């Protein structure tokens, strides 16, 4: 499924390039501004806020829990039927050390 976007891009390759370029610039700005220190790490709201900030100029769904199944290339994201329970499980995962943080957000 090709993602509708605010940029009007119809090429998957071009969209992927612009998504990467824009989101990296925004991530750099968020990091340098201290934005991440204002959030409560580990919550769904934390992740949704970051997603919104990174992708709000590209997608209407930025920062929202999706309501459709999606994939990126050969990678399929969690099916919508299981998404709510998966998000609740992820939110409850510990993040007291580096390995736990990697496990949680990877």
Domains, in order of start, for the chain: 12-105 (1.10.3290.10)
CB 77 within 8 A of CB 68: no
Alpha-carbon gap, residue 12 to 37, rounded angstroms:
34
Residue 42 CB contacts under 8 Å (≥ 6 apart), including other chains: 91, 93, 95, 104
> pLDDT grade, residue 106 (50/70/90)?
low
**pTM for the full predicted model:** 0.77
- Residue 51: its pLDDT value, please? 92
**Phi, psi (5° rounding) for residue 2?**
-80, 135
> Average pLDDT, whole number, for the chain?
87
> pLDDT grade, residue 79 (50/70/90)?
very high
Alpha-carbon gap, residue 43 to 17, rounded angstroms:
29
> pLDDT grade, residue 74 (50/70/90)?
confident
């Amino acid at each position: 499924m090709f993602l509708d976007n605010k940029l009007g891009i119809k090429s998957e390759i071009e969209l992927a390039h612009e998504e990467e370029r824009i989101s990296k610039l925004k991530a750099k700005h968020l990091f340098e501004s201290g934005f991440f220190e204002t959030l409560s790490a580990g919550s769904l709201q934390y992740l949704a806020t970051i997603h919104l900030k990174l992708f709000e100029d590209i997608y209407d769904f930025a920062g929202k829990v999706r309501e459709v199944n999606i994939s990126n290339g050969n990678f399929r994201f969690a099916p919508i039927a299981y998404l709510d329970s998966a998000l609740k499980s992820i939110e409850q995962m510990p993040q007291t050390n580096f390995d736990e943080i990697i496990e949680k957000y990877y």
